[in-house]
Amino acid sequence: MSPILITTLAIGGLGAICAISLALAAKFFFVKEDPRIEQVVNILPGANCGGCGYAGCADYAKAIITENAAINLCAPGGCEVMENLARMMGVEAVAAEKKVAIVLCGGDSTKAPRKFKYNGVADCNSAAAVNGGDKLCKYGCLGYGSCARVCPVGAIEIKNNLAVVHPELCIGCGACVKACPRGIIKLIPASRSIHVLCSSKDRGPDVKKACQVGCIGCTLCTKLAENEAIKMDGFLAVVDYSKELKNEKVAEKCPGKCIIKRG
- pLDDT category of residue 16 using cuts at 50, 70 and 90: confident
φ and ψ of 107, to 5 deg:
-85, 80
pLDDT value of position 242: 93
- Which pLDDT does position 263 carry in this prediction? 62
Is 40's pLDDT higher than 80? yes
> pLDDT-based confidence at 3, cuts 50/70/90?
confident
CA–CA separation, 139 vs 146, rounded Å? 16
Distance between CA atoms of residues 223 and 250, nearest Å: 9
Q: Model pTM greater than 0.85? A: no
pLDDT digits 0-9 by tens, 54-107: 888 999 999 999 999 999 999 888 888 999 999 999 988 887 788 999 999 999
Q: How confident is the model at residue 24 (pLDDT cuts 50, 70, 90)?
A: confident
5 half-sphere exposure, CB direction, 13 A CA radius = 2
The pLDDT of residue 158: 97
Question: Averaged over 232-246, what is the pLDDT?
Answer: 96
pLDDT for 1 beyond 90: no
Q: Cα dist. 223→80, 82, 192, 236, 247 in Å? A: 42, 40, 19, 14, 11
Mean pLDDT, rounded, for 133-162: 96
What is the per-residue pLDDT for 60? 94
Q: What is the chain's mean pLDDT, rounded? A: 91
User: Does 148 have pLDDT greater than 70?
Assistant: yes
Tell me which H or E stretch contains 187: strand 185-189
Tell me the pLDDT tens digit for each residue of 94-139. 877 889 999 999 999 999 999 999 999 999 999 999 999 999 999 9
Confidence of residue 51 (pLDDT cuts 50, 70, 90): confident
For residue 141, the Cα-to-chain-centroid distance in whole angstroms is 15
